[in-house]
Amino acid sequence: MHNDYVLVAKEVTKRFGGLVAVNKASIAVRRSSVTMLMGPNGAGKTTLVNVCTGVYKADEGKVFFEGNDITGLPPYEIYKLGFVRTFQIPIPFQSLTVLENVLAAMNSVGENPLVAVVKRRWIGVEEDSIKKAFNILSKIGLSKFWDLPAHKLGAAQLKMLEVARALATGARLIALDEPIGGVDPAYAGRILSYVKGLKEEFNVSFLLIEHRIDIALPYADYVYVMDKGAVIAEGTSNEIIKNPKVVEIYIGE
Ligand SMILES: Nc1ncnc2c1ncn2[C@@H]1O[C@H](COP(=O)(O)OP(=O)(O)O)[C@@H](O)[C@H]1O
Ligand SMILES: [Mg+2]
């Protein structure tokens, strides 16, 4: 089981005072898959991912990454193991170019990224790293913006830069929390299709939180639906849209 799955969360419960935000939720992310966590606002999606990435400690349950028990490890340890939430990557310098931002992320595991960037700013940056960075940028449609300062990018492009930086850390699993939130529906599909392409190209898995079921579903290999803290349905996209429990909560919204 652990060979096929990069992440396994078993019966995770997380309470905030009297509120049970996540209630015995179990999910598994298959290697090289886009696994989607769906459900209405307040369902517990973000909290579950926060438990998996070490931001919150589970009250009950276990989390395994690449077969290793990571329950209760601090976020930075989990990040170093290769399970990355995009916001965990140190904030980019707005004035750094797109390429420099990717190079900075590449050096962020095990080294202070700011020191790394300042120290290496161009002089001494290995040609190899630059090639790697360009390869990543080309796979997500950002290579033509390589020399642009990050603050010049649009919202959708910034999202893609976040994904590029996650890839640059060498992540095996990337968690994206509502990556198309606030993005125009026309671009939203493009972001998700890039994500789908990346999983094959880089043999990386994605855990994608999304509540806009209509836009996101076609890009998912497997889907978990949460409601009121619990996983109420799982299956392929086709199975999910036919599931009466899912139809009910989305119509009820
Ligand atoms: N840090 C927190 N302290 C107290 N309650 C929280 C906290 N984070 C989330 N919650 C509550 O837990 C429930 C699940 O929230 P969340 O995981 O953010 O849902 P989702 O991401 O599915 O919208 C909600 O009722 C929310 O108000
Ligand atoms: Mg959320």
User: Ligand 1 centre from 221 Cα, in Å?
Assistant: 26
- Rounded Cα–Cα distance for residues 222 and 29 (Å): 8
Handedness of CA 139, 141, 147, 148 (dihedral sign): negative
pLDDT band for 106, please (50, 70, 90 cuts): confident
- Residue located nearest, by CA, to atom 11 of ligand 1: 21
CATH number for the domain including 176? 3.40.50.300
Across the chain, mean pLDDT equals 88
Q: Are residues 245 and 142 in the same domain?
A: no
Per the structure block, which two tokens stand in for 115? Answer: 């020191």
Last-in-domain residue among 139, 168, 197: 168
Q: Write the pLDDT tens digit of every residue in 186-241.
A: 788 888 899 999 998 898 999 999 888 888 888 999 999 999 999 999 999 999 99
Mean pLDDT across 2-15: 93
Q: Are residues 211 and 193 part of one domain?
A: yes
Question: Last residue of a domain, which of 143, 168, 193?
Answer: 168
Protein residue closest via CA to atom 12 of ligand 1:
21
Same domain? 78 vs 176: yes
* Containing structural domain, residue 175: 1-87+171-253
Question: What pLDDT digit, counting tens, does each position of 157-181 carry?
Answer: 888 899 999 999 999 999 998 887 7
Q: What would the two tokens of residue 242 be?
A: 């036919």
Q: Which atom of ligand 1 is nearest to the CA of 22?
A: 14
Rg (CA), the chain: 18
Q: How far apart are CA 23 and CA 19, in angstroms?
A: 10
Q: Is the same domain home to 38 and 146?
A: no
Cα–Cα nearest to 88, from 101, 72, 105: 105
CA of 34 to the centre of ligand 1 (A): 23
Give the residue from 107, 130, 197, 132 showing the smallest Cα distance to 160.
Answer: 197
pLDDT at 117 (0 to 100): 54
Atom of ligand 1 nearest to the CA of 43: 22
The CA 101 to ligand 1 mean position distance, Å, reads 31
239 C-alpha vs ligand 2 centroid, how far in Å? 23
Tell me, yes or no, whether 117 and 216 share the same domain: no
| Ligand 1 probe mutation, 20, 38, 47, 225, most atoms within 8 A of CB | 47
Q: Hunting for tokens 């590449």 — which residue is that?
A: 106
Ligand 1 atom 6 nearest Cα: 16
Q: Indicate which atom in ligand 1 lies nearest the CA of residue 56.
A: 1
Helix (H) / strand (E) element for 23: namely strand 19-30
- Specify whether 75 is located in the same domain as 109: no
Average pLDDT for 67-88: 91
Rounded CA separation 181/241 (Å)? 21
Give how far Cα 215 sits from Cα of 179, 187, 237, Å. Answer: 12, 11, 12
- Enumerate residues lining ligand 1, CB below 6 A: 16, 19, 21, 39, 41-47
| Tokens representing residue 199 in the block | 């999983």
Which of 19, 52, 231 to mutate for ligand 1's pocket (most ligand atoms within 8 Å of CB)? 19
Question: Distance (Å, rounded) from C-alpha 178 to C-alpha 196?
Answer: 15
Asked if residue 90 lies in contact with residue 111, where contact means CB atoms within 8 angstroms, the answer is: no
**Ligand nearest the Cα atom of residue 21:** 1
Amino acid of residue 24: K
Total structural domains within the chain: 2
Evaluate if residue 136 carries a pLDDT over 70: yes
Scanning the structure block, which residue is given the tokens 């020399």?
A: 147
Which residue, of 168, 194, 213, is where some domain finishes? 168
**Angle (CA) 187 189 190, round 5°:** 60
pTM of the model: 0.91
